[in-house]
Chains A and B, each alone.
Chain A
Amino acid sequence: MLFTSYEFILFLLIVFILYYVVPKKLQWPLLLVASYVFYFFSGPENLLYILFTTVSTYLIVGRIQKSKDIQEAYLKEHKKEMSREERKAYKEVGKKKQWKWLLLVLILNIGMLAVIKYTNFTIHNINGVLELFGSDQQLSFLDIALPMGISFYVFQTMGYAIDVYRGKYRAENNPFKLALFVSFFPQLIQGPISRFDDLAKSLYEPHRFDSRTVAFGLQRILWGFFKKLVIADRLLVAVNTIIGDTETYRGAWVFVGMMFYALELYADFTGGIDITIGVAEALGIKVTENFIRPYFSKNIKEYWNRWHITMGSWFTDYIFYPISVCQPMLKLSRFSRKHLGEKVGKRITVWLSCFVVWFATGIWHGASWNFIVWGLANCFVILVSQELEPLYRKFHSRFHVDGTFGWRLFSVARTVLLMSCLRTFDCYRDVPLTFRMFGTMFTDFNWGELFNGSLMGLGMTLADYGVVIVGFFLLLGVSLAQRKGSVRERIAARPYPLRFVIWFGLFLLVILWGTYGIGYDASQFIYNQF
């Protein structure tokens, strides 16, 4: 059930009505039922995977919690009899046991994800190696379809398991409440990857109908629809045309495709998240923001703090930090400092942790070398920027550019361009082709071919270009206005007729300009595939 389908709108309408009509204590069970119904429509067999994650997490994390409780009770009871060392040793034993349980739940779930998502990728690589060595033996591919949103709910649930293990909060006692946390339907398709302590309270507590909250939620949904249907899906046709014909569309066309894709991806992903957050908001539930105007970032590090924030923070909290402070890494740090000097030595572990995080980020996005190279390319750029930071500072102070509008604008443009370049790995079939096509921007670049009418051959009419331009400036205007606070709040403070014109106007734009219905292919959200 696509977010932009009639079925979803009807489904949403029924859920909204029931949600505010049923007794408040039945609101969260209703959401659980709705979430499973929603997931059922993605393929009944997919329910098995989400049930597996839910049940295994409930049982195993429950054991971790139980072990913690027993340990705590024992320590409390024997506080006076035990020395500090004894208590520490006792805790260590408990921790080891809990660690084993955690390891089990991680292996089961990440293992399930890995098998489903990466088996064919692994087979593809093994076949490649066999071919390289002249073997005519080839392994057969498995017929496995990737269940909708599996990367998101597995990561979200594993975050919960690790947090319980770390003692950040207690495990959820009610299996159905945990099931809702895992499967909450608005964020099943493309996140955000919520934290249990952020989401749980508002997910389970009763909500009374508040017209302002509901209106705000609907407005956010509408804005998401605008981004997705008016901009992203319109550009999709042109992007697919460019990347689908690498013989014709080279040089300047690669640049055009790259910039179109940057806008398409932004409108698609942020539009989807707007719908997610809007749906939750209309139900009175607060979901974590996933974007803070990422294309206004002045460097790539800042960009990654503002784009897909929940994924970035997940990798930081559950991969980067644990790796940085694990025993082998600490040993390596000591070793490298001793042999390479303090300055370089202490950075080795940071570089290595960064490498692991970006490798994981890449492969999380998709089982292909393109995504791995894309992740590592991001890592490379971030590390180089980090290492050159002192040089940049010198340059800024020498030429007094820091803080000037021109320099900020340049920095933003540079970041957008850099990110767009890296995103070309999303587009082309394989890594060599990506490099080849990227290279044509420097060898075959010819502005002229863009203005001989060929732009109309990308599957977009003049009217489509007009809509994209208007949409782009609307996005830009709203993003600029957001820097001074919530745009919806400010609109809400205006007189009713103006509010009506704004929101009804936006509704009409979606209705008229939206790419939906006959003649348009219903397009999945790009992040749905991850």
Chain B
Amino acid sequence: MLDFDFHDIEPMTMPKILILTLLIVAFTNPVMAQSVDAAAQTVKIALAQEPPQLNNMTATDQVSIFVLGHVMEGLTRYDRRGNLAPGVAERWELTETSATFWLRKDAKWSNGDPVTAHDFVFAWRNVVDPKTASQYAFILYPVKNAEAINQGTKPLTDLGIQAVDDFTLKVTLERPTGYFLKLTAFVTTFPVQEKFYRATGSAYAADSKDLLYNGAFRISDWVHSASLKMEKNPNYWNSKAISLEVIDAEYITADTRARLNLFIDEKIAYTQLDGETYKDALNNQFRIKKFVTGSVYFLEYNYRPERITHNKKLRQAIQAVFDPDEFVNKVLQTPGNLPGASLFPSWIMGVNKPFRQEYPAVVTRPDLAKAKQLLREAKAELGLEDIPPLILLVSDSPTATKQAEYMQGMLKTKLDLDLKIDVQTFKQRLAKMTNGDFDIVGAGWGPDFDDIMTFGDLFASWNLNNRGRYNNPEYDRLVRKAMNSNDPEVRMAAMAGLQTIVHEDAIILPMYEQGVIYLQHPKIKGMRRTVVGSDPDFTYARIVP
């Protein structure tokens, strides 16, 4: 055994060893590539979470859709300016009853096979197959018989999609769908090669090798929960238009502060901020960018007959004291949010201009006297001396709780109305919403596709997301009218009527249109933020020196 006495070593050695070790660690640490590299056209980013589902037929979450939008492509796509452009389909013809797509012959899968019309037939049938249980099956409901198949009343082969030949695809529509070409740019409608799908079995899209790519990039390396690297796809038909060689998500963490630290350390080139990290970003004198996400947040009432919120006067009284401007400035505090005014966000397009410019929303100015009068009438109608405490159901995020507390304080001081805040975790809140176990619920809605109908049919009596069970035949009639027409004038007029009902009936209390703030490395050009689909879109981005 080695006999070793520490006092034999001269006193200065220990610290020296320590310093030496640290220096070795510091300098053997390879000089890491920074967040952007113009010569190699590389950008490094962080993902907020591991993509839970890279099977495009069942993916629903933002991170999966972000990745899929870069590595796969549908019949149509969005170009660098955000306009609808040809994707796998070279050209198309859309009528009231059908859509025909002529596919390009140079569109290839990453294994070299051509992308054919059969790949779309296989994928679309799979999406609406009730066995697949895809939450986004409704995206394909405009296709003939899709809804019936999805509900198990018709066989799969009845789906209105047919491969005329390898490169011609014919879709029969259930009803006129002017926005159908926007749906074919969304991940749910992307193609899947049957041969490959069958070969991978239940592991389809579980790893980078278990997925076939036909997009601008392909996943070259995916370490679960650690990193996901996308490289330019040499087989992509339009690869000469792609500048970026590598999109490297080297980090995966939901912690916004950790991501800000990585940005400060120049390890990532893009990160979203929240209320907490916003001030630190300001202190670091970064240029903070704003983006309106397209989502609308509102309070939704319960219309089940046993709930007192079915009383219109009560809802109008709340509407008459709520000041969205004050709410956005005082409660939300991060820049970029817009005061809520309508069910329709301001970016939604109308006939020629944004819908809200063509049909401005009526906004109620806060009026305390009127609100008190409405509340008295509500009490009389309900036959109540006092309104019992209303249950406000919210999620357990700090922002949602803060918003709920603002409402509680505001309604108490102004109208002497009591709110009981019911904070619930994600799944519990959903269960309570679905079972109608609330008076008011803090809710939000993000667009699934780029058309006014993604918001418009939300409170139709048949919509399952209408969790307060609002039921108004006039509302339903207007939704049907817009659904069965391809004429923008007719559709937008119907939606304008609907916007009026939402306000006059006080169906919801619009609170704000969500805006987000983010940091982006100044050398990244051409990164596109989008309200629907893959966001942010790096497809046409490039790094300038």
Asked if chains A and B come from one complex, the reply is: no
> Which residues in B have some Cβ–Cβ distance to A below 8 Å?
none
> Which residues in A have some Cβ–Cβ distance to B below 8 Å?
none
